[in-house]
Amino acid sequence: MRATGYAETGGPEVLGLREDAAVPRPGAGEVLLKVAYAGVNRPDCIQRAGHYPPPPGASPILGLEASGEIVAVGEGVDVSWLGEQVCALTPGGAYAEYCVVPEGHMLPVPDVLTMAEAAALPETLFTVWHNVFQRGMARDGEMLLVHGGTSGIGTMAIMLAKAFGLGVIVTAGSEEKCDAARAVGADHAIDYKTTDFVEAVGLITGGDGVDVVLDMVSGDYVARNLKCLKPDGRHVTIAVLGGLKAQINMALVMSKRLVLTGSTLRPRSDAFKTALRDEIAREAWPLVEDGTIRPVMDEIFALADADKAHARMENGDHIGKIVLAIDEDL
């Protein structure tokens, strides 16, 4: 099968198309997906650069989400799945014509979505739901601060938060991106390159602060984020693009009774991801099916142009999701 791979780690230019990759076989509890589209995510870029190795047993091929048609099933999987169009969170391997997926990590593609849009949903939806609503314990009437407001994660966080009655403040790197975030539904957007977001959050909230921060930056942002939080606020870290370490005032944490948490999704067990899928299917997927939540799409690249897709993501010019068209006829 065709798949994107790399002989050595490095920049986007190390990615290349293979024509001779082995088609994987579904094991017990798995299905084989003929991939239509694959989502491109920041962890893909980090893995390609050599800083995020796949967990044991995962495919070395990049790609954490996909849409497509089920063409084979493993032991214990109902054959009625055959021919169904689904989108799925994958353990890896989505940058290829075929990908193995655990049965419990799939969601049906509703008629309101294109297959490209469906491929743009699983990674961001699973990540935001777990971190904002489960770990961050966000609830209606609260205020959420999201950094990277026009990323795939950021736009999904805006839509989900608004759908469940939260107010949303985001940061973004230009006025164009701030306008885009507001168009998605953000109540307030702050250009962090021209404005101190701590001061801006204080002005927006009348000095009260926010209840939850969804942070993809870490580093020196953490101490600033804590200043933005209300008493009993929750700080949730999902990436460390600004540095692995943070220096914080623990007296502030104690006096405000703050919760600092975070997570990575890929290493979690199949059982955990299945339970997360089940909750999303009950609580959030109906909002996808009725069109309330629809991914913000940036650009679609051919599988052979995965290097260009990674370069666009790393340049930070994108607004919403970047996806790869796996089938040459798409």
pTM (2 d.p.): 0.96
The percentage of residues in the chain with a pLDDT greater than 70, rounded to a whole number, is 99
Domains with residue ranges and CATH for the chain: 3-121+266-325 (3.90.180.10), 125-262 (3.40.50.720)
Which helix (H) or strand (E) segment is 122 a member of? Answer: helix 122-128
Tell me the two tokens of residue 322.
């970047």
Tell me the two tokens of residue 114.
């294109």
pLDDT tens track for 147-183: 999 999 999 999 999 999 999 999 999 999 999 999 9
The percentage of residues in the chain with a pLDDT greater than 90, rounded to a whole number, is 97
| Core vs surface per residue 123-147: b (16+ CB within 10 A) or e | bbbbbbbbbbbebbebeeebbbbbb
**What is the residue-wise DSSP string for 30-82?**
EEEEEEEEEEE-HHHHHHHTTSSPPPTTS-SS--SEEEEEEEEE-TTS-GGGT
Q: What is the pLDDT of residue 327?
A: 85
Q: What is the pLDDT of residue 330?
A: 63
Averaged pLDDT of the chain? 97
- Distance in Å from the first CA to the final CA of the chain: 17
Tell me the two tokens of residue 157.
């966080």
pLDDT tens track for 61-94: 999 999 999 999 999 999 999 999 999 999 999 9
Tell me the two tokens of residue 210.
């926010």
Rounded mean pLDDT, 54-59: 90
- Residue 289 CA to residue 167 CA, distance in Å, equals 23
Asked if residue 102 lies in contact with residue 54, where contact means CB atoms within 8 angstroms, the answer is no
pLDDT tens track for 110-149: 999 999 999 999 999 999 999 999 999 999 999 999 999 9
Q: 3-class secondary structure for 240-273?
A: CCCCCCCCCCHHHHHHHCCEEEECCCCCCCHHHH
Q: What is the pLDDT of residue 310?
A: 98
Q: Is residue 329 over pLDDT 80?
A: no
pLDDT band for position 186 (cuts 50, 70, 90): very high
Rounded mean pLDDT, 30-56: 95
Rounded mean pLDDT, 92-99: 98
- Residue 179 CA to residue 156 CA, distance in Å, equals 16
